[in-house]
């Protein structure tokens, strides 16, 4: 697995990775998504599909894939690697090292394979060795629990210092974005808090973009 060079060139500015709520009706969510995609800092959208039949899932994903990709962003499915090609998505995000190992063969080399739910450093390194395009740290588990921010910062900082493969740090609020950027996150994931007020999505995204931009160091 490649490690960071001893004297690395400056890495690109951190960008946003949006995680949708559970979506079963694309038309009902399309306006909210359009508001979120106004920001140039958005690099990817992780689509969480609701539990309906496979044809409905594919149609829902297709309807949202087009506007996301038209903005130059990647559209990933949360799990469901078997639907990626049919939906025209760019790849999938797999939660847990076991799920990642099971799905990698369906995605690579044509599609993006992201890895999350990585409980240990060892799991993260295994995902990278298996071909992950990125690793994510700090996302909530199925029960909504997540590590303290300080633990996420430590894990992001370790990864950013040692490995070339990008990492995503999960921010549960606007206040967590800048600490994750300082730690070295290549992307910062925004989850449920972004969508809570449908009338404030554009403003929240604009605030998130400002949090990405660190002040220039003093001369």
pLDDT beyond 90 at 37: yes
CB 155 within 8 A of CB 128: no
Cis bond before residue 109 (omega within 30° of 0): yes
pLDDT beyond 50 at 1: no
CA distance 39 to 203: 10
Q: What mean pLDDT is reported for the chain?
A: 91
124: left (phi over 0), alpha (psi -120 to 50) or beta: alpha
**Could you tell me which of 148, 126, 166, 110 has the C-alpha nearest to residue 1?**
126
Query: What average pLDDT does this structure show over 59-85?
Result: 95
**Eight-state DSSP code of residue 200:** S
pLDDT beyond 80 at 128: yes
The H or E element containing residue 17 is strand 15-23
Q: Where are the domains of the chain?
A: 20-212
**CA atoms 59, 61, 65, 68: torsion sign:** positive
**What is the CB-side half-sphere exposure of residue 97 using CA atoms within 13 A?**
13
CB 19 within 8 A of CB 182: no
**CA atoms 60, 66, 68, 73: torsion sign:** positive
| Coil vs helix vs strand at 10 | coil
CA distance 55 to 24: 11
CATH top-level class of 20-212:
alpha beta
Tens digits of residue pLDDT in 179-200: 999 999 999 999 899 999 989 9
**Could you tell me which of 160, 180, 156, 125 has the C-alpha nearest to residue 4?**
160
pLDDT grade, residue 50 (50/70/90)?
confident
In DSSP terms, 75 is beta-bridged to 45
pLDDT grade, residue 123 (50/70/90)?
very high
**Could you tell me which of 179, 166, 154 has the C-alpha nearest to residue 11?**
166
pTM value is 0.92
Query: What average pLDDT does this structure show over 142-157?
Result: 94
């Amino acid at each position: 697995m490649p490690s960071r060079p001893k004297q690395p060139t400056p890495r690109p500015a951190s960008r946003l990775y949006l995680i949708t709520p559970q979506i079963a009706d694309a038309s009902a969510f399309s306006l909210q998504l359009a508001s979120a995609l106004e920001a140039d800092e958005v690099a990817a959208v992780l689509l969480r599909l609701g539990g309906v039949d496979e044809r409905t899932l594919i149609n829902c994903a297709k309807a949202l894939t087009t506007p996301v990709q038209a903005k130059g962003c990647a559209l990933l499915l949360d799990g469901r690697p078997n639907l990626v090609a049919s939906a025209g998505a760019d790849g999938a995000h797999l939660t847990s090292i076991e799920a990642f190992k099971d799905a990698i063969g369906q995605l690579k080399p044509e599609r993006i394979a992201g890895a999350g739910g990585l409980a240990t450093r060892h799991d993260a390194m295994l995902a990278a060795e298996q071909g992950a395009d990125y690793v994510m740290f700090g996302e909530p588990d199925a029960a909504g629990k997540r590590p303290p921010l300080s633990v996420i910062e430590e894990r992001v900082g370790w990864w950013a210092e040692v490995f070339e493969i990008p990492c995503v740090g999960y921010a549960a609020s606007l206040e967590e974005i800048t600490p994750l950027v300082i730690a070295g996150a290549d992307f910062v994931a925004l989850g449920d808090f972004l969508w809570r007020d449908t009338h404030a999505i554009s403003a929240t995204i604009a605030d998130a973009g400002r949090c990405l931009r660190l002040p220039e160091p003093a001369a």
